[in-house]
Structure formats: structure tokens, C-alpha cells
């Protein structure tokens, strides 16, 4: 596996290289990290090698990060780009060149690990194949991850069922040794005999896993919870933390004890206000915002005048300039009167 890092700040160039090496945990794969302080050196190197991932500083060589990513992906469309910057800078252009992630400086170790794990999951999903000796064919057959719907074991026999409903039988000397391999990133063990491709799952109940093709497999709540796939109508704070472990490119903001918003990293009401102000050429000093939930806090801390509704949580009230009446008693109207924006 080849990884490119492009940054004209030597300290960050070395830091990112070090973090990539620390985060790589695939003993059967070879990792090569190549560092470049100029865009042209990175592009020239593509004549000798292809890169699976590229970490590019957005402001490299006077804000040429987007150009670097565009030119790199033109040479190698399979390369996954991660932008690095000290602010959410040109974020829309970043995703226009299909960047996988956007990391902020100073780089948080846990966040970097999550992003790198996410990239590795994507890469392995695209490239890992299962080579299984098939009894009726008398030879080994290669299966892509997306090709398999589920595995089912019968003593020392393994049945492979594909998404197009082909059935293959293989002999496995020790079926228990097979489970850790298949279960890993893409398969969920729903009971003692069945491992299901998680992409084929339609929905879950307390006792069953139902596939998109309508097969039903019995399971248990304990099994679902152990696989981090316990979906409920309400999301508690601890469950939110577990969910974000498998969504490193997102963040959560809670606006009720059992509800929260999950948004792409960089997406927030604060960011929305900044884009609005930029479009209409309005200064931040002329802004005022109202909120009542935890997802409003970044916005309230950002604007010139912040107002909490009386039905807001104590956490929200603690960060605002003024607390008005609740939503059912003309709270916004009364706040506007308080700040002399309206007359009675």
C-alpha cells in the first residue's frame, strides 16, 4: 500500500507520516509512506507508483491543495484524498473533487485514527477477496465481499450464498476458525450457524435479522448489541458514542435527551450562518440567533447576539446573552422587543 503526504510545512509533513505508520495495523500488507513538500514532486512520482491514499494540505503552495487533488485524481482516479487544514477552508470544493475526509489542524490523534480506520475499511472492502475451495467445482473460487450474501455452516460444511442466489458448498476442517475471518468488518454473526453480509441487511427486530432479499434469520438482542447494530427509535447518549465510532466522518449534536442530529464533519448551523453571511455580504456583528437545543450551541456561541428560549436546557441557557419566553408564548417576538428590533 502506497500513501502520499503533501505539505510544505516540514513539521506537519513528518507528523502526518508518523501518524499514518502508527495507525496502520495490517501485518499482512506492506505500507510505504512518501512525503512531498511540493505538488509537482508528488505528481511526478505517479510515473513510478500508484497511491491508495493521499493526505494533502489545503493551503500547500499558496492555496493549491484543490488543484493538487484534482490533478492527482486525474492521473489515478482510485486514489482517496484527505484534505488537511487549520480551518474548514474551501470545503465545498474539497468534496467536489470527491475528497474522502477533511482533517483540521491541530490534528487530534483519536480523530486521525478514526479517519484512517475508515479509509482502510473502504480500501479493504474494495480489494479483499475470499478464496474458498468449492466441492462441486473441484477447485477454488474467488468471491468478492459484495458478491456474498451470507455464509451458513453445517458441522464441517460451509454453504456460501451469493446475492444472485447461487449456492456453493465447501468443506471446512474447523468452522470455528473461520468465524473471526469472516466476521471482521463486513459480516455479522447472527447466530451459531449464520454470518450475514451487513450490506444485505434490510432491518432488525428484537429476535430476527431480515435481509433485503426477505430471508429471515433468528438472533438475539445480545447478539445485535455486541455487533453495534441495535437500532432503536430513540438514541441515548451512550449509544450515540458507539454509533460515532463507526461514523468517524460525522459528529453528533443532541437537542433532546433521546434525540440528536448526526451531520457530516464540518456541517453545522454555525457553518450555515457563515455561508449565508458570505453570500449576502453581511457582517457577523449584525447577526442574532435563537435556539433551544444542544445542536444550537455552536451557532449561539458564534453570532453577535444569542438568545435561548425559556424551554431550552440549562446547558443552552448558560452560553447565551439573553433568555426569552418559550416557543408557545411568543418568545422570539418578546426578545425582539427586548433588543428594540420591534415596537409594540
Residue 109 has pLDDT above 80, yes or no: yes
Where are the alpha helices (H) located in the chain, listed in sequence order? 10-23, 39-45, 60-63, 65-75, 91-96, 109-127, 175-183, 221-226, 237-245, 269-280, 297-302, 314-317, 331-338
* b/e code 256-272 from CB counts within 10 Å (16+ = b): eeeebbeeebbebbbbe
Confidence of residue 320 (pLDDT cuts 50, 70, 90): very high
CATH homologous superfamily for the domain 128-226: LytTr DNA-binding domain (2.40.50.1020)
- Least confident stretch, 66-80, 245-259, 319-333: 245-259
The DSSP symbol for 246 reads T
Higher-scoring residue by pLDDT: 54, 233: 54
Q: Do domains 128-226 and 269-338 have the same CATH topology?
A: no
Q: Give just the sign of the alpha carbon dihedral 280, 285, 290, 292.
A: positive
Question: In this predicted structure, what is the pLDDT of residue 161?
Answer: 94
CATH of 269-338, one of 3.30.420.40, 3.40.50.2000, 3.40.50.1000, 3.40.50.2300: 3.40.50.1000
Question: In this predicted structure, what is the pLDDT of residue 22?
Answer: 93
Q: Is 165 exposed, middle or buried (0-12, 13-18, 19+ CB in 10 A)?
A: exposed
pLDDT tens per residue, range 181-224: 554 567 888 888 888 988 888 877 778 889 989 999 998 867 76
- For 25-29, what is the mean pLDDT? 76
d(CA 2, CA 318): 48
State the average pLDDT for the chain: 83
The domain segmentation of the chain, as residue ranges, is 2-126, 128-226, 269-338
- In words, the CATH class of domain 2-126 is alpha beta
The pTM of the whole model exceeds 0.85:
no
Amino acid at each position: 500500500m502506497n500513501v502520499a503526504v503533501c505539505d510544505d510545512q516540514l513539521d506537519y509533513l513528518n507528523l502526518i507520516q508518523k501518524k499514518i505508520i502508527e495507525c496502520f495495523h495490517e501485518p499482512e500488507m506492506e505500507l510505504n509512506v512518501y512525503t512531498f513538500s511540493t505538488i509537482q514532486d508528488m505528481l511526478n512520482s505517479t510515473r513510478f507508483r500508484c497511491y491508495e491514499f493521499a493526505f494533502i494540505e489545503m493551503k500547500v503552495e499558496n492555496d493549491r491543495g484543490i488543484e493538487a487533488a484534482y490533478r492527482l485524481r486525474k492521473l489515478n482516479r482510485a486514489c482517496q484524498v484527505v484534505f488537511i487544514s487549520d480551518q474548514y477552508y474551501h470545503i465545498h470544493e474539497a468534496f467536489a473533487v470527491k475528497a474522502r475526509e477533511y482533517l483540521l489542524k491541530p490534528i487530534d490523534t483519536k480523530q486521525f485514527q478514526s479517519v484512517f480506520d475508515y479509509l482502510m475499511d473502504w480500501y479493504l472492502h474494495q480489494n479483499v477477496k475470499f478464496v474458498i475451495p468449492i466441492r462441486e467445482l473441484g477447485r477454488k473460487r474467488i468471491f468478492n465481499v459484495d458478491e456474498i450474501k451470507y455464509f451458513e455452516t453445517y458441522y464441517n460444511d460451509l454453504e456460501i450464498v451469493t446475492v444472485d442466489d447461487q449456492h456453493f458448498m465447501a468443506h471446512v476442517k474447523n468452522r470455528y476458525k473461520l468465524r473471526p475471518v469472516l466476521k471482521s468488518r463486513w459480516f455479522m454473526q447472527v447466530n451459531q450457524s449464520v454470518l450475514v453480509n451487513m450490506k444485505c441487511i434490510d432491518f432488525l427486530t428484537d429476535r430476527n435479522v431480515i435481509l433485503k432479499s426477505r430471508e429471515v434469520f433468528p438472533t438475539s438482542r445480545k447478539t445485535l448489541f455486541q455487533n453495534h447494530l441495535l437500532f432503536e427509535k430513540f438514541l441515548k447518549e451512550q449509544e450515540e458514542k458507539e454509533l460515532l465510532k463507526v461514523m468517524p466522518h460525522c459528529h453528533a449534536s443532541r437537542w433532546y435527551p433521546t434525540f440528536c442530529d448526526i451531520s457530516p464533519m464540518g456541517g453545522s448551523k454555525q457553518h450555515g450562518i457563515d455561508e449565508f453571511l458570505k453570500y449576502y455580504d453581511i457582517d457577523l456583528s449584525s447577526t442574532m440567533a435563537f435556539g433551544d437545543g444542544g445542536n444550537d450551541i455552536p451557532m449561539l456561541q458564534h453570532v453577535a447576539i444569542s438568545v435561548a428560549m425559556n424551554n431550552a436546557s440549562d446547558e443552552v441557557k448558560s452560553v447565551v446573552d439573553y433568555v426569552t419566553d418559550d416557543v408557545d408564548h411568543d418568545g422570539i417576538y418578546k426578545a425582539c422587543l427586548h433588543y428594540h428590533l420591534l415596537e409594540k
